[in-house]
Chains A and B, each alone.
Chain A
Amino acid sequence: MNNLSKLQQILDSGQFAVTAEIGPPKHSSAEGIRHHAEMMRDYVDATNITDNQTAIVRMSSIAAGAHVLGCGIEPIVQMTCRDRNRIAMQSDLLGAYSLGMRNVLCLSGDHQKFGNHPMAKNVYDIDSMQLIDNLRRMRDEKVFFSGEAIKESEPQFFIGAVANPFADPFEFRVDRLEKKVNAGAQFIQTQCIFDMERFERFMEMVRERGIDQRVHILAGVTPMKSWKAASYMQNNVSGMIVPNELVERLKNAEDPKREGLDICIEQIKYIKENVKGVHGVHIMAIAWEEVVPEIVEKSGLYPRPKVG
């Protein structure tokens, strides 16, 4: 089995990467995942498999990742700090690596309050920064999180993290990104970008400090189906900024879905042309996976590079 992540090879060779999100189902059939994976196979370099996103119980990201891998797409396994302690995290990640998964995305995870089990106990034994740091040590120093040696076959993950330029305090967002890179993050996926002006300011600070030279930043984009969806995100999702113009544009559109797709495609083209330091896009078409191929194609990102 090839040891290197395909996503890593594409990014390290300086090509503009495309990733997309596949949300595992709220049941035990893999049919939908396979369908989405097959549809996306030739259009993206890797797919993120979310880890009980918004704290709603879904098929595990690693199990879903195995189905995706079986369809010939590289998964990016998401691992939140909400549901597992350091023992469970390491165990699951050893398992993921043994199944051929090479990319991990480390994140705090949405608080369980937002999900379908708000009465659950959360874990937060370690935080996302510590997860990144310890995954790097697992690979480079061959040790478990405790410092105990891993005698053989240490997992060599391509380590990802998230950054949210739209959360506060704004000035510290670049510091925190840098801190994640210092900890060992090799690629970054950003929160959905709707406020392009703020994202550009963020990237300017990133470039000033040369962080874009040390890590691959993938800009997160989300196509929106309706003005209601946009307005919901605007008002109810903490750490998101959705400008009014965007809501209005969708509201006035004759075909809002078409408009949502067009906006997303425009954004990708704009970012690729104008925002220096961005090394790829991450498309989060939430519960709308089938539009990913069209977005990729119309953004001029098709065909995707072949990796050996």
Chain B
Amino acid sequence: MIVAQQKPIKDIAQMINDCKKVLFVGCAGCVTVCLAGGEKETAVLASAMRIKRILENNPLEAITYTCTRQCDPEYIASLDNQVKDVDAIVSLACGVGVQYLAERFKDKWVVPALDTKFIGGSTVHGVWEEKCGLCGECILHRTGGICPIIRCSKSILNGPCGGSQYGKCEVNKDIDCAWQLIYDRMKALGKLDKLMEIQPPKDWSKSRDGGPRKAIREDVMIDE
């Protein structure tokens, strides 16, 4: 899933400083699971803003709504009536949701309440870790199911580098060295010989380096 975190309250407040009525829109997708922008977080943020603005003698009318998914035109259509008289929309979705709102509500000021961080999952309650770098051509079958593109700080395909020590990455002792993990797993699977094959340079054109990507499935397209 996409993992996001809320921006500092003062930064969000700054973006809507001159607005009198604001719609806070949560999302019931990934950001609900990572506890950043679901129904509950949306209500909490809206009331925090109301209180802050009362204290500042500049009261704010804050209304809330949580979409099933903000990255889907079908689910944001239900906002059409609510946005009419608001001065701004604060989206608590990932960057995709913010853009969907901005695109649909062309005359509205749409701002992000979250920083979209990465795609990954949680390891223990309250901790999420990055797992995939969206490279466009998955190579997990060659690395024992552990992604070196995003979990190795240098995206090394023939690791580990000389900074790997005691299982940790040179960048930080809190980061596991992905290549130590790959080594351990390949060893346990009896496949260490695979690590002797020189992995060729990656085709980054399949990643963002090839320009913004599109996925097209003609078989499921609906003719109009």
Contacts and interface: CB of A to CB of B under 8 A. Distances in A.
B198 A110 contact: no
Nearest to B161: A108
B148 to A, nearest CB: 9
B196 A239 contact: no
A126 B164 contact: no
Contacts of A183: 198
Contact of A127 (B158, B168, B172, B184): B158
B153 interface: yes
A128 B179 CA distance: 15
Contacts of B160: 167-169, 172, 176
Contact of A238 (B159, B170, B192, B196): B170
Contact of A239 (B153, B155, B170, B180): B170
A168 B164 contact: yes
A126 B170 contact: no
Contacts of B184: 169
Interface stretch (A129-137, A195-203, A276-284, A294-302): A129-137
A125 B198 contact: no
A67 interface: no
Interface in B190-209: 192, 195-196, 198-202, 204
B201 A82 contact: no
A108 B154 contact: yes
A168 B157 contact: no
A288 interface: no
Interface in B145-174: 153-172
A162 B154 contact: no
Contacts of B198: 129-130, 133, 179, 182-183
Contacts of B172: 113
Interface size class of B (residues with CB under 8 A): 20 to 34
Nearest to A183: B198
A86 interface: yes
Contacts of A110: 163, 170
A29 interface: no
Contact of A172 (B168, B183, B202): B183
Contact of A108 (B156, B177, B183): B156
Nearest to A111: B171
B164 A122 contact: no
B86 to A, nearest CB: 36
Contact of A168 (B165, B171, B201): B165
A16 interface: no
A109 B161 CA distance: 9
A168 B167 contact: yes
Given A110-B170, A145-B201, A182-B198, A129 B165 contact: no
A292 to B, nearest CB: 23
Nearest to A122: B154
A238 B163 contact: yes
Given A81-B154, A167-B164, 15 more contacts: A108-B156, A108-B161, A124-B154, A125-B204, A127-B155, A128-B156, A129-B158, A129-B199, A130-B157, A164-B162, A168-B164, A172-B192, A176-B158, A182-B198, A239-B162
Interface of A: 81-82, 86, 108-111, 113, 122, 124-130, 133-134, 145, 162-164, 166-169, 172, 175-176, 178-179, 182-183, 191, 238-239
Interchain residue pairs A-B with the least CB separation, the first 9: A164-B162, A129-B158, A238-B170, A127-B156, A108-B161, A124-B155, A126-B201, A238-B163, A239-B163
22 contacts: A111-B153, A111-B163, A111-B171, A124-B155, A125-B204, A127-B155, A127-B157, A127-B158, A129-B198, A130-B198, A130-B201, A168-B167, A169-B164, A172-B183, A172-B192, A175-B195, A176-B158, A176-B160, A179-B158, A179-B198, A238-B169, A239-B165
